């Protein structure tokens, strides 16, 4: 199975900060990576698919990059609504696998 | 609008089975697959499996093989996930989602396993 890791596990930031989360795959997954945002008690929400494609309706302050084994999610200017947990997921190969998550909280 | 609506909360005893349903609307059900994901309390997301609503092709997580069955009913645009021989560590919120890159999610179904 492909293992996904994320760093950091927790990130403390302020409104307006530029935030970057890294996701690494244990082997190449090409661009078959998605990013999700999850708030407590809610279902995850797709932000980015195919590593860099912004899902319809997602604010343009979110962006994704990378290919192969290393990927990043960037929030260009953190907004109050962005405090949440973020997960990456590879869907290149079955079984699909998620990263352990990165919690973005208030500094 | 495109949505997935899941069945209600379940409370089960160890050893029992549970079936969670996921009714799709607003899109052509057979043009997409359905993924199932669960999340234990305070934990991350765990991929359980995927089924093609087009041809019934299925992939299950290795750790659930033999206990889980995923099916679809194209006449009602509904996907089902049955989990058998429930244990306490199956207590979780169970989600269905459209596609492998999951663009639409159900609201989640809480399954509690307790004696």
pLDDT at A74: 98
* pLDDT digit string, tens, across residues B75-87: 999 999 999 999 9
| Closest CA of chain B from A57, distance in Å | 12
pLDDT at A76: 98
Confidence of residue B49 (pLDDT cuts 50, 70, 90): very high
Average pLDDT for B3-26: 98
d(CA A91, CA A72): 16
Does an H or E element contain B59, and which?
A: strand B58-60
Interchain CB distance below 8 Å, A96 and B50: yes
One pLDDT digit (tens) per residue for chain A, 107 residues: 999 999 999 999 999 999 999 999 999 999 999 999 999 999 999 999 999 999 999 999 999 999 999 999 999 999 999 999 999 999 999 999 999 999 999 99
Interchain CB distance below 8 Å, B102 and A50: no
Number of other residues whose CB lies within 10 A of the CB of residue B63:
11
CB A38 within 8 A of CB A45: yes
d(CA B22, CA B45): 18
Residues 17-46 of chain A with CB under 8 A from chain B are 32, 34, 36, 38, 43-46
């Amino acid at each position: 199975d492909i293992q996904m890791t994320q760093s950091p596990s927790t990130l403390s930031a302020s409104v307006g900060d530029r935030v970057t989360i890294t996701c690494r795959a244990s082997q190449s997954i090409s661009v078959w990576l998605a990013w999700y945002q999850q708030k407590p008690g809610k279902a995850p929400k797709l932000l980015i698919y195919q590593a860099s494609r912004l899902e319809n309706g997602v604010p343009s302050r979110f962006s994704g990059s990378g290919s192969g084994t290393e990927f990043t999610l960037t929030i260009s200017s953190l907004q109050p609504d962005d405090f949440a947990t973020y997960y990456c997921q590879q869907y290149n190969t079955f079984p699909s696998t998620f990263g352990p998550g990165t919690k973005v909280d208030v500094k | 609008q495109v949505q997935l609506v899941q069945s209600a909360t379940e409370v089960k005893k160890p050893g029992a089975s549970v079936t969670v349903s996921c009714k799709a609307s607003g899109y052509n059900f057979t043009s997409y697959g359905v993924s199932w994901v669960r999340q234990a309390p305070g934990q991350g997301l765990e991929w359980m499996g995927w089924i093609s609503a087009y041809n019934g092709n299925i992939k299950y997580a290795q750790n659930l093989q033999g206990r889980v069955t995923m099916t679809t009913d194209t006449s009602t645009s509904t996907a089902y996930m049955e989990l058998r021989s429930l244990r306490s560590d199956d207590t979780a919120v169970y989600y269905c989602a459209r596609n492998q890159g999951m663009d639409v999610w159900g609201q989640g179904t809480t399954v509690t396993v307790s004696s």
